[in-house]
């Protein structure tokens, strides 16, 4: 009996979380799966069809975050977009757990207090058919081209070629998909 109550509670919670999340975004989404609580403090989030968002994903910022169709976003992933930047994720992309995608850095001018510095923004573009493995960080001005694979715990801060497999800090291409 307790198992049945837990299943019903889980279904109701999923339904509630999905409804709350979908109210906050700009898209007419079809078949979006929201599994667990999603933190959405983004003002311009656009999501495609057949997107799966796992628990504790955070969307944040006042810039555009655009997510294509057939995308999976893993547990505890954070996606931040500033007003002058933008994060663009293509179709058929898999983002594993604990990833951090951000389109800006903090300013570092010498004669200004750090807390008063402006953000330095760029764009992040993740094209189609990309796999980003667990614990990766994707920084501003990064372009991950079609079919690329980013290995676990890698940091991307530049362009990664089509079908490249890149690993490390910073990520370097070690070979290409065949």
Domains and CATH numbers, the chain: 2-128 (2.160.10.10)
In 72-164, which residue ranges form alpha helices assigned H by DSSP?
none
pLDDT in tens, 140-171: 999 999 999 999 999 999 999 999 999 999 99
Burial class (CB in 10 A: 0-12, 13-18, 19+), 12: exposed
* Closest by CA position to 134, among listed 170, 93, 89, 99: 99
Confidence band (pLDDT; 50, 70, 90) for 23? low
The single residue listed with the structure tokens 């573009």 is 125
Contact (CB, 8 A) for 165 and 177: yes
Q: Across all residues in the chain, what is the average pLDDT?
A: 91
The β-bridge relationship of strands 100-102 and 86-89 is unpaired
pLDDT in tens, 64-101: 999 999 999 999 999 999 999 999 999 999 999 999 99
Confidence band (pLDDT; 50, 70, 90) for 20? low
């Amino acid at each position: 009996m307790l198992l049945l109550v837990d299943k019903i509670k889980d279904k109701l919670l999923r339904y509630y979380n999905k409804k709350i999340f979908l109210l906050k975004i700009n898209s007419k989404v079809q078949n979006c799966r929201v599994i667990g609580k999603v933190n959405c403090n983004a003002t311009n989030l656009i999501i495609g069809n057949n997107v799966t968002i796992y628990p504790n994903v955070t969307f944040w910022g006042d810039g555009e975050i655009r997510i294509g169709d057939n995308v999976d976003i893993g547990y505890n992933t954070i996606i931040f977009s500033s007003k002058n930047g933008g994060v663009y994720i293509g179709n058929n992309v898999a983002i594993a757990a604990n990833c951090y995608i951000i389109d800006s850095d903090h300013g570092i001018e010498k004669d200004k207090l750090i807390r008063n510095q402006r953000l330095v923004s760029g764009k992040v573009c993740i094209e189609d058919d990309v796999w980003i493995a667990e614990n990766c960080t994707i920084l501003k001005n990064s372009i991950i081209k079609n079919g690329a694979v980013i290995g676990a715990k890698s940091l991307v801060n530049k362009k990664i070629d089509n079908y490249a497999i890149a690993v490390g800090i910073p990520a370097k291409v070690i070979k290409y998909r065949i």
